[in-house]
Chains A and B, each alone.
Chain A
C-alpha cells in the first residue's frame, strides 16, 4: 500500500471537508428567514427574539459563529436541533443507520443483478437478450425513481398487496436495538418474524433505490467484459479446454471488475441522492428525509450535521475506491 499516496489523499480530504463546512455554514446563513422568529412564532416580542438569538449564538459575528461550530464539531458536538431540542448527533445516528441499511440493500441488489445482466449480455453479444438488457439499462438510467417508487407502491402494495407501503417495521413489532440495522438486530435476537417483516418492508424501497446504479453497473460490466474476453489469456484458457463458464468467471469477470468497482463506489453518491427521494416516498425514517425536513424547518444545526456527514461519507468512499483500485491492480502506478 503506497502510504505517501494515502497521506496525500487524507490531506486533500481535510481541505475538501474544510471547504464543505465553510460553504454549508455560509449558505445556511443566506437562507431567508430568522430561525428565532420561526421558533417563537409571529407573536414573540423583540426582547424574546433577542434573548433566543443570544442563546443560539446568532447575535455573534459570522467568524465567531463558525469558529464555535468547528470547535464543537471536532469534539463530536454538532449542536442542538432547534426543532426538538435534542443533540443533533443523537438525532442523526439512528437515521444514518436506517439510510445505511437501505443503501446497502440497494447496493447488493444493484451489484448482483447489474453484474449478472452485464456478464450474460457480454457473453451473448448481439443476441436478443443483449439488446433487451441494454435497452432496459438505458430505461433504468432515465428513470425518475420517485415515479417508479409510486408505481411500485400502487402495483405491489395497493392493487396486489404483496408488500407494505411504508416504514421499516409493522406497527407493534419491536426488537432491542443493538446495531440499529433491523435485519441484523432481528438475527441477533433470534426473531425470524421481525427478520421477515423487516425484509418485507425493505424490498420495495431498496429495489427503487437500486434501479439507476443497477443499470449503470450492467452497462459498465458489459463493456468491460467485452474488452477482457478479447484478450489473449482468455483465448489461451479456452484453448486449454477449460469449461466456458470457468473461463468467463475466473478469467473474464475477475479482470473485468476494476471499472465495475469504481462505478460501484461512485454510485454511492447516486444512492445518497436517491435516498432523499426514496425515503420521502416510502416514509423511510432515514437521513435523507430528515435533512429535507430540517431544511424546511430552518434547523441550521441539523442541516449542517447531516450535510457534513453526507460529504464525509462521499469523500471517504472516493478515497476507498481509489485504494481498492490500487490493491486490485498492482500495475497501477500512482504518479506522485
Chain B
C-alpha cells in the first residue's frame, strides 16, 4: 500500500476520519494558541472569580478569575506535548527491547521479558504515581513516569511480531546470504513491525494523555499556575458544588482529545491490518 492509498483509505474510513478531524482541530487550536485565547491564561483577575460561562468568558472563570477557555486553549499544547513525549519514551526503549528479545531468543529473551513482567505486575496508575513520587512532582517527570509504565506494552507487541517474522523465508534467506544480524534487524525486521507499532502508538497517545491528566489530578503532575487539563480539573474539584464549569470544561477537552486518538487508532488498525478489522 503506498502512502496515497493509505491516506485515501484512512479518509474513507469513517472512524479514522472523525478521529483525524478531532485531532486536527485540537492541533490547530494548540498551534494558534496565543492568537486564539481571548485572555492571558496565567494572570488572575480577583474581581471575576468563579464566573459562570457567559458571552465575556465562554467557559467561565476559575477560582482566581482566570479565563477557563484561554487556559484550556493553552493546555492543549501541554497535553499534545505530553502525549508525544511520553509515547516516545515508551516506544523507543520498548521497540529496542522487543527486537532484541524476539530476535536473539533465550537467555536475553527471558531476562528482558521477566523484567517486563515485573513492570506489568503493577496497576498502571499506581506505577506512574510511584515513579513520579520518586522523581518529584512536575510535568517532565510525569511524562517520564507515564513513558516508563508503557515500555513493556511496546516490548511485547514488537517481540511477538519479531518472533513470527524471524521464521519467514525472506528473513532466513538474507541470513543465509550472509546478512549481518544488525542488517536483518534494522532493514528487514524493524520496518515490518511498523504497522502494529503505529497503531499502538496512536492509541497510546490517548492513554498517555489520560494517565498524565490523572497524575495532574492527584497533584503529582504539572504544578500551578500551569494550565494543564488534569491539574485544572483537580482545582475544579473543590468548587464542584457551586462552579461545576471549572472542572467541566478541562475534562471535556481531555475526553475529546483522547477520543480523537482512539477513533483514529481504531481506524488506522482497520486500514493497516485488515486481518484485525473489527467488523
Q: Residues of A at under 8 Å CB distance from B?
A: 12, 15-17, 19-20, 23-24, 27-28, 30-32, 125, 138-139, 141-144, 146-148, 150-151, 153-154, 158, 219, 223, 226, 269-270, 272-274, 276-277, 280-281, 288, 291-292, 295-296, 303, 307, 310-311, 314-315
Cβ B122 vs Cβ A310 within 8 A:
yes
Q: Flag if A315 contacts B251 (CB, 8 Å).
A: no
Residue of B nearest to A227 (CB): B279
**Known contacts A144-B210, A144-B255; A277/B247 CB under 8 A:** no
Which B-chain residue is minimally distant from A277 (CB atoms)?
A: B214
Q: Can you name 16 extra interface pairs (CB under 8 A) apart from A27-B134, A142-B210, A276-B218?
A: A20-B122, A28-B134, A142-B261, A142-B262, A144-B210, A144-B233, A146-B233, A148-B251, A154-B244, A269-B124, A273-B124, A276-B125, A277-B214, A296-B133, A311-B121, A314-B121
Smallest distance from the beta carbon of B204 to chain A beta carbons, Å? 13
Per-position 1/0 for B112-138, Cβ under 8 A of A:
001101100111111001110110100
**CB-CB under 8 A for A151 and B126, given A144-B251, A146-B217, A295-B133:** no
Q: What mask results when residues 221 to 264 of chain B are scored 1 for a CB within 8 Å of chain A, else 0?
A: 00000000010010011001100100110111011001101110
Q: Which of B195-230 contact A (CB under 8 A)?
A: 206, 210, 213-214, 217-218, 230
B122, closest chain A residue (CB) = A311
Nearest opposing residue in chain B for A27, CB measure: B134
C-beta contact mask, B33-68 vs A, less than 8 Å → 1, else 0?
Answer: 000000000000000000000000000000000000
Question: A270 to B16, alpha carbons, bound, how many Å?
Answer: 25
CB–CB A307/B122 < 8 A: yes
Q: Is the CB of A138 within 8 A of B262?
A: yes
The answer on a CB contact under 8 Å between A19 and B126 is no
| Closest A-B pairs by Cβ, 5 of them | A147-B251, A19-B118, A273-B125, A142-B258, A142-B259
Asked if B278 is an interface residue, CB under 8 A from chain A, the answer is yes
Q: Are A30 and B251 in contact (CB under 8 A)?
A: no
- Contacting residues, chain B, for A295 (C-beta < 8 A): 129-130, 133
Kindly list chain A residues whose C-beta atoms are within 8 Å of the C-beta of B123: 269-270, 272-273, 276, 310, 314
CB pair B118–A138 under 8 Å, yes or no, is no
Tell me whether A147 and B247 are in contact (CB under 8 A). Answer: yes
Determine how close the nearest CB of chain A comes to the CB of B124; give it in whole angstroms.
5
B17 to chain A, nearest CB (A): 14
From DSSP, what is the main secondary structure of chain A's interface residues? helix
The size of the chain B interface, using a CB distance under 8 A, is 44
A30 to B134, alpha carbons, bound, how many Å? 6
Which partner residue on chain A sits nearest B262 by CB separation? A142
The CA of A277 and the CA of B213, in the complex, are separated in Å by: 11
B266 beta carbon closer than 8 Å to chain A: yes
Q: Which residues of A contact B117 (CB under 8 A)?
A: 12, 16, 19
- The chain A residue with its CB closest to the CB of B217 is A146
Q: Is the CB of A19 within 8 A of B217?
A: no
Given the known inter-chain contacts A272-B123, A273-B123, please indicate yes or no for A150 contacting B129, CB distance below 8 A.
Answer: no
Min C-beta distance of A208 to chain B, whole Å: 13
Are B255 and A139 in contact (CB-based, < 8 A)? yes
A20 CA / B122 CA spacing, docked (Å): 8
CB distance from B243 to the nearest CB of A (A): 10
Given contacts A16-B118, A31-B133, A125-B279, is CB(A150)–CB(B255) below 8 Å?
no
Which A residue sits closest to B276, measured CB to CB? A223
Asked if residues A151 and B206 are in contact (CB atoms below 8 Å), the reply is no
Q: Is the CB of A158 within 8 A of B240?
A: yes
Q: Which residues of A lie under 8 Å from residue B136 when comparing CB positions?
A: 32
Contact partners of A148 in chain B: CB under 8 A:
251
Distance A144 CA – B230 CA, assembled complex (angstroms): 9
Across-interface contacts of A277 in B (CB, < 8 A): 125, 214, 217-218
Chain B CB count within 10 A is highest, among A273, A310, A314, for A273
Bound: A246/B129 CA distance, A:
47
Q: How many angstroms from the CA of A148 to the CA of B254 in the assembled complex?
A: 11
Partner of A154, one of B125, B230, B241: B241
Shortest CB distance A114–B (Å):
16
Closest Cβ of chain B to A173, distance in Å, is: 23
Given known contacts A32-B136, A138-B262, A292-B129, is B240 in contact with A144 (CB within 8 Å)? no
- A142 CA / B204 CA spacing, docked (Å): 11
CA distance A148 to B213 in the complex (A): 13
Can you report 26 residue pairs joining A to B where beta carbons are below 8 Å apart?
A19-B115, A19-B117, A19-B121, A138-B263, A139-B259, A142-B258, A142-B261, A143-B255, A143-B258, A144-B251, A144-B254, A147-B254, A148-B251, A153-B240, A154-B244, A219-B278, A223-B279, A226-B279, A276-B123, A276-B129, A277-B218, A280-B218, A291-B129, A303-B130, A307-B122, A310-B122
* Interface contact B218-A141, CB-CB below 8 Å: no
A274 shortest CB reach to chain B, Å: 8
- The reply to whether B130 and A307 contact each other, CB–CB distance below 8 Å, is yes
CB of B115 to closest CB in A, whole Å:
7
Measured CB to CB, the closest approach of chain A to B31, in angstroms, equals: 23
CA separation between A31 and B134, bound complex, in Å? 4
Name the interface residues of B151-207: CB closer than 8 Å to any CB of A: 206
Knowing A20-B121, A144-B255, the reply to whether A138 touches B266 (Cβ < 8 A) is yes
The answer to whether B214 touches A144, judged by C-beta atoms less than 8 angstroms apart, is: yes
User: How many angstroms from the CA of A151 to the CA of B245 in the assembled complex?
Assistant: 10
Enumerate chain B residues within 8 angstroms of A274, measured Cβ to Cβ: 125
Does A19 contact B114, Cβ atoms closer than 8 Å? yes
Q: In the bound complex, how far is the Cα of B131 from the Cα of A24, in angstroms?
A: 10
State the CA gap A310–B120 with chains docked (Å). 11
Q: Which residue of B lies closest to A306 (CB)?
A: B126
**Across the two chains, which residue of chain A brings its CB closest to B263?**
A138
